[in-house]
Amino acid sequence: MSDKKPNVAVVGATGAVGNQMIACLEERNFPLKSLRLMASSRSAGRRLPFRGEQITVEELTEDSFGDVDIALFSAGGGTSQRFAPAAARSGCVVVDNSSAWRMDPDVPLVVPEVNPHAIAGYTTKGIIANPNCSTIQMVVALNPIHQKAGIRRIVVSTYQAVSGTGMRAIEELTRQTKAVMEKKACPREVYPHQIAFNCLPHIDVFLDNGYTREEMKMVNETHKIMEDDAIAVTATTVRVPVFYGHSESINIETRTHIGADEVRSLLEKAPGVAVVDDPQENRYPLALDAEGQDLTLVGRIRQDESIANGINMWVVADNIRKGAATNTVQIAEVLVEKYL
């Protein structure tokens, strides 16, 4: 592309992630020539605002991509599986938010702060995958430590906001919270249990090994992004009654010793990270502070006193922004700048 102003499409434009992608393209002044918005037939004809204009949502079909240079997908794994190859065949590069292509060896899985070089591999299939939100914020915080001291093992527990499940879950938490406060019956549609005033140790489906698919995404995607299968990773993923912002308690064991102060100063210089770590002043990362911005917040950094080379930390990011939409748009920015 000579003038470096691509025609862009957002697929899944009416969803929680797609909506935020449109906002990110606008906020970051993404250099595009045109923007097309696509969803299912249910939403075709709806109009959504972009740069002061109203864009009409089109129904996604295999013929949708004729003049599109970059397509940002967030319409679920099935839609990506079916339509991303068609888009790529018509010459467009797909940046896909679903898990459909993440572990395909011919598809780069990218967090721009960690492995931007991997984007070069997009030419084989014309698809680049965006990792799971819980993986993204974890590797942004851990990669600088891995580069310095080598991470041997990661033990992570997540506290994930309902927006990670989409628009219907945001509505479900709102409805249930109101119902409980008003002492009315609490309707359940999205989650198998009440989410209001509760914590569910269950995200995505259970697998034969007893882990959930969300937990195994964190294991497998971390290996691929950090390009090191030797890192031992174990995860417990939990849904909590928070609207936006995933929080993670992370414990690591490093190969060589690194002190909490050194971790703090490494992370203060790390791309995409803000250290919020002054417990005496009650300053630590909070979901409410992460909401609406793009940094990964890290705090409660301290030595794990139970082992020789251990560190504990608390890591929070906006799951819909850095965990999904912003990371996707950042990938597209590198693509335009370096590869198209």
Please report which residue ranges of the chain form alpha helices under DSSP H: 16-27, 77-89, 133-149, 167-181, 213-226, 260-268, 287-290, 326-334
The correct pick among 43, 158, 222, 237 for binding ligand NAP (CB under 6 A) is 43
By a kind-dependent CB cut-off of 5 to 8 A, residue 217 interacts, out of ligand 3JN, ligand NAP, none, with ligand 3JN
Instruction: Report how far residue 275's alpha carbon sits from residue 298's, in angstroms, rounded to the nearest whole number.
Output: 5
Query: Which DSSP symbol is given to 135?
Result: H
Instruction: Report how far residue 214's alpha carbon sits from residue 201's, in angstroms, rounded to the nearest whole number.
Output: 11
Selecting among 24, 92, 133, 146, the annotated active-site residue is 133
Instruction: Report how far residue 181's alpha carbon sits from residue 275's, in angstroms, rounded to the nearest whole number.
Output: 36
The correct pick among 19, 20, 137, 165 for binding ligand 3JN (CB under 6 A) is 165
18 binds ligand NAP (CB under 6 A): yes
Give the C-alpha distances (Å, rounded to integers) separating 309 from 137, 275, 304. 22, 21, 8
Residues 136/327, Cβ–Cβ less than 8 Å: yes
Instruction: Report how far residue 172's alpha carbon sits from residue 13's, in angstroms, rounded to the nearest whole number.
Output: 21
137 binds ligand 3JN (CB under 6 A): no
Q: Give CA angle at 134 (244, 248), nearest 5°.
A: 75
By a kind-dependent CB cut-off of 5 to 8 A, residue 6 interacts, out of ligand 3JN, ligand NAP, none, with none
- Cβ–Cβ contacts within 10 Å for residue 288, how many? 11
The correct pick among 23, 26, 44, 77 for binding ligand 3JN (CB under 6 A) is 77
- Tokens of residue 156, six digits: 């992570």
Per CB under 6 A, which region of 36-44, 102-110, 222-230, 233-241 contacts ligand NAP? 36-44
Per CB under 6 A, which region of 28-36, 159-167, 260-268, 308-316 contacts ligand 3JN? 159-167
By a kind-dependent CB cut-off of 5 to 8 A, residue 160 interacts, out of ligand NAP, ligand 3JN, none, with ligand 3JN
Site mask, ligand 3JN, residues 208-247, x = CB under 6 A?
A: ---------x------------------------------
Selecting among 24, 92, 146, 246, the annotated active-site residue is 246
Q: How far is the CB of 102 from ligand 3JN (least distance, A)?
A: 8
Q: How far is the CB of 331 from ligand 3JN (least distance, A)?
A: 14
Give the C-alpha distances (Å, rounded to integers) separating 158 from 142, 181, 233. 15, 27, 13
The correct pick among 19, 132, 326, 328 for binding ligand 3JN (CB under 6 A) is 132
Q: Is 13 helix (H, G, I), strand (E, B) or coil?
A: coil
39 binds ligand NAP (CB under 6 A): yes
The H or E element spanning position 254 is strand 246-254
Pairing of strands 151-160, 232-239: parallel
- Applying CB under 6 A, which residues contact ligand 3JN? 77, 98-99, 132-133, 160, 164-165, 203, 217, 319
Active site (catalytic) residues: 133, 246
- Applying CB under 6 A, which residues contact ligand NAP? 12-18, 39-40, 42-43, 60, 74-77, 79, 97-98, 130, 132-133, 164, 166-167, 323-324
